[in-house]
Amino acid sequence: MKEDKNQMLNNNEIYYFDHASTTPLRKEVKTVMEEFYSNKFANPASSHFLGEKSERAVENAREEIALLLGANKAEEIIFTSGGTEADNLIIKGIAMAYAEQGKHIITSSIEHPAVIESCKYLEKHLGFKLSYLEVDQEGFVNPKDLKKSIRDDTILITIMTANNEIGTVQAIKELAEIAGENNIFFHSDAVQAVPQMQVDVEELGVDALSVSAHKFNGPKGVGALYLKSGIKLIPQQSGGSQERKRRAGSLNVTGIAGMAAASKLLREELVTKVKKIKALRDYFIKRVFSEIDNITLNGPEGENRLANNANLTFEGLAGEAILYNLSLKKIAVSTGSACASGSISTSHVLKAISADEKSAKSAVRFTFGLANDKSQIDYLIDNLKDTVRHLRSLK
Ligand code: PLP
pLDDT tens digits, one per residue of 163-176: 999 999 999 999 99
Question: Each residue of 70-97: pLDDT tens digit?
Answer: 999 999 999 999 999 999 999 999 999 9
Residue of 23, 159, 160, 164 to test ligand 1 pocket, by largest number of atoms within 8 Å of CB: 164
Residue of 161, 212, 347 to test ligand 1 pocket, by largest number of atoms within 8 Å of CB: 212
Look up the pTM and report it: 0.96
Residue 53 — pLDDT band, cuts 50, 70, 90? Answer: very high
Measured CA to CA, the distance from residue 45 to residue 2 in angstroms comes to 42
Q: Kindly name the residue from 126, 279, 338, 339 that is annotated as catalytic.
A: 339
> What are the residues whose beta carbons fall under 8 Å from the beta carbon of 211, sequence distance 6 or more?
65, 68, 69, 83, 86, 190, 191, 194, 223, 224, 225, 226
255 Cβ below 6 A of ligand 1: no
Residue 12 — pLDDT band, cuts 50, 70, 90? Answer: low
223 Cβ below 6 A of ligand 1: yes
Measured CA to CA, the distance from residue 266 to residue 68 in angstroms comes to 8
Q: Which of 141, 212, 223, 217 is nearest to 175 (CA)?
A: 141
219 Cβ below 6 A of ligand 1: no
Measured CA to CA, the distance from residue 384 to residue 395 in angstroms comes to 17
DSSP per residue, 157-175: EE--SB-TTT-BBP-HHHH
Pairing of strands 223-227, 77-80: antiparallel
**Cβ burial, residue 288 (10 Å; 0-12/13-18/19+):** buried
Is pLDDT of 2 > 50? no
**Cβ burial, residue 80 (10 Å; 0-12/13-18/19+):** buried
212 Cβ below 6 A of ligand 1: yes
DSSP-assigned beta bridge partners for residue 168: 305
Q: Whose CA is nearest to atom 12 of ligand 1?
A: 83
Question: Each residue of 319-374: pLDDT tens digit?
Answer: 999 999 999 999 999 996 555 455 567 899 999 997 677 888 999 999 999 989 99
84 Cβ below 6 A of ligand 1: yes
Mean pLDDT, range 253-259, rounded to an integer: 98
Residue 112, sorted as left (phi over 0), alpha (psi -120 to 50) or beta, turns out to be: beta
Residue of 22, 117, 191, 196 to test ligand 1 pocket, by largest number of atoms within 8 Å of CB: 191
Measured CA to CA, the distance from residue 354 to residue 164 in angstroms comes to 16
Is pLDDT of 4 > 60? no
Can you give the pLDDT at residue 342?
53
235 Cβ below 6 A of ligand 1: no
Could you give the angle at which helices 113-126 and 83-98 cross, rounded to 10 degrees?
30
Question: Each residue of 374-384: pLDDT tens digit?
Answer: 999 999 999 99
Could you give the angle at which helices 374-393 and 253-291 cross, rounded to 10 degrees?
60
Q: Which of 380, 389, 336 is nearest to 359 (CA)?
A: 336
**Cβ burial, residue 322 (10 Å; 0-12/13-18/19+):** buried
Q: Which helix (H) or strand (E) holds 16?
A: strand 15-16
* Ligand 1, atom nearest to 82 Cα: 15
* Ligand 1, atom nearest to 221 Cα: 15
Residue 119 annotated to the active site: no
Which domains, ranges and CATH numbers included, belong to the chain?
Answer: 4-26+270-393 (3.90.1150.10), 27-264 (3.40.640.10)
Q: Whose CA is nearest to atom 10 of ligand 1?
A: 83
User: For residues 23 and 196, is the Cβ–Cβ distance under 8 A?
Assistant: no
Is pLDDT of 8 > 70? no
* Ligand 1, atom nearest to 87 Cα: 10
